[in-house]
Amino acid sequence: MRHVCVLLPNKQHLDCSVRMRARGQEVMNAVLRLLDVSDLQVFGLALLRDNEYLFLDLEQKLSKYFAKIWNRESLKVPFILFLRVKFYLESGLLIFSSKVRQLYYWELRQKVLHSRSCDQEALFFQLAASALQAEVGDLEPEEGIEKEGGEEKQERMQYFLTKDYFPPWLINQRGRSFLLQHSPVLHGELRGVPRSRAILQFLKEASGLRDGPLTFYRVKQGKKELRSSILLGVALTGVHIYQEVEGKQCALFVFTWSDIDRFTFQGSRFEITAVGSLGLSQLVYYTHSAFHSKHILRHLSDSHHFYISTKDAASHIQQLEDMQTCQLHKEAYICDITGLRQRLRCHNITASVSDCSDMEETDTAWIKDEAEDEDQSPSSVEEPEEVFVDDPAEVSWLAELLHGVSVGGPLDFPSSSWAAVTMEMKQVLCRRAGEGVSVD
């Protein structure tokens, strides 16, 4: 027997023992049993090779991945594998198990902290607010905090560590005090949102992060290059290629699956051929080894098949979410008044900003008027009572979840085919349309 330790996205681990001649599927079966789930859907087992995560072919023997040390009988150190997201989704509603959804959430949480999407600063504040609501819950109403003294109020508002919710570059750029001052404002806007729904909101927002829902592989432009400056990103919808320039990721190509004619490799040489209508020459890159090339190609192929099998279900869920968005609209603003005033003076912007022609002279009045408008606004819409889904076989729960129904309960959705999910969703939509009932 061999001892295998599987590290999870939430920084926990699972220990399992397998036969010396075991294949990857035997470890996956042990993980399913220990997590008490029937299907991990979007996850795969990976090992770390040359500072890259490569997903295992579960049909291959583990001895192939751990080489000669796998056969050493005296070895007491466990063999390390990682449970990682292999396929990213645009909506967490496609993940049926609440346990699997939470693991997916924790991996995306780490992806956000390592993101370099400097041009999406506002999105990081939204993600931090959703994560705080999911992990902390409702923030204490501001009226109760106002009664406390200055030091007590400041200490109460510092209820989280900025490094746990923002990437380092944003902390350095804005400063810890700025993040601690403004993040609770957005967190407070989510008061009353169930934690399970906050997780779904975080997953939806994280899918819009440019370098979030991607698995990156480092490749070189030339075989003799010492440093791999090209990042090949595998996404749900295709392949993104970036080049690192002075620590920043510059997009070179964004291919959908329909843009790509074929992938081929020979040894470490990896080729991407686009369809003829794009007019691009063949792209040639070099991986660490033939072993890397083979596993990258397999990941690309599996991702394409996963996209094809889930796109109909994803499309119908998107329709439901769009209907929800049309009926509920909420905005919150974080404004650096000093920085804004400086930019307005520098660029002499007066007419291009609506109703801001005299902003420089009346900053205080502008802030006061906006505060009065907020006081006069109607109270937030009351959330429906949180209930559990009793019939897991009814796909209409997808629509119900959008109104705050808990997904944290004991939901055990059967592992049916995506085609079956899509057909039932179509029936739900058609039935409601026939009854003249709008899907909120």
Spatial contact of 427 and 313, defined as CB atoms under 8 Å apart: no
What are the angstrom distances between the C-alpha of 65 and each of 29, 62, 70, 191?
18, 5, 9, 48
As a whole number, mean pLDDT of residues 17-41 equals 94
What would the pLDDT profile of 386-438 be if each residue is shown by its tens digit? 333 333 333 344 444 444 433 333 333 334 445 444 455 555 445 544 444 44
Residue 338 pLDDT grade (very low, low, confident, very high; cuts 50, 70, 90) = low
pLDDT > 50? residue 364: no
Collapsing DSSP states into helix, strand and coil, what is residue 219? strand
Spatial contact of 93 and 317, defined as CB atoms under 8 Å apart: yes
Please indicate whether residue 344 or residue 229 has the higher confidence score (pLDDT): 229
Average pLDDT of the residues of the chain: 78
What would the pLDDT profile of 203-235 be if each residue is shown by its tens digit? 999 999 999 999 999 999 988 888 888 999 999
**What is the token pair recorded at 256?**
């959908």
Going by C-alpha positions, the residue among 31, 33, 63 that lies closest to residue 45 is 31
Please indicate whether residue 62 or residue 440 has the higher confidence score (pLDDT): 62
Q: What is the pLDDT of residue 153?
A: 56
Spatial contact of 85 and 35, defined as CB atoms under 8 Å apart: no
Q: Give the burial class of 7: count Cβ atoms within 10 A of its Cβ; 0-12 exposed, 13-18 middle, 19 or more buried.
A: middle
Of 73-77, 264-268, 308-312, least confident by mean pLDDT is 73-77
Task: Provide the strand spans (E) within 87-178.
Answer: none
Q: Which residues contact 254 (CB under 8 A, 6 or more apart)?
A: 238, 239, 240, 241
User: DSSP string of 23-57?
Assistant: BHHHHHHHHHHHHT-S--TTEEEEEEETTEEEE--
CA 176 to chain centre: 24
What would the pLDDT profile of 45-66 be if each residue is shown by its tens digit? 999 998 899 999 999 999 999 9
Contacts 24+ apart (CB under 8 A), 7-13: 7/80, 7/81, 7/82, 7/83, 8/83, 8/103, 8/106, 9/83, 9/84, 9/85, 9/103, 9/104, 9/106, 9/107, 9/110, 10/102, 10/103, 10/106, 11/106
Pairing outcome for strands 43-49 and 79-85: antiparallel
Collapsing DSSP states into helix, strand and coil, what is residue 250? strand
Q: What is the pTM of this model?
A: 0.74
Spatial contact of 112 and 124, defined as CB atoms under 8 Å apart: yes
In one-letter notation, the amino acid at residue 153 is K
Q: What is the 3-state secondary structure (H, E, C) of 300-361?
A: HHHHHHHHHHHHHHHHHHHHHHHHHHHHCCCCCCCCCHHHHHHHHHHHCCCCCCCCCCCCCC
Going by C-alpha positions, the residue among 398, 403, 392 that lies closest to residue 426 is 398
Residue position matching structure tokens 């290629």: 241
What are the angstrom distances between the C-alpha of 285 and each of 223, 266, 273, 292?
8, 11, 12, 12
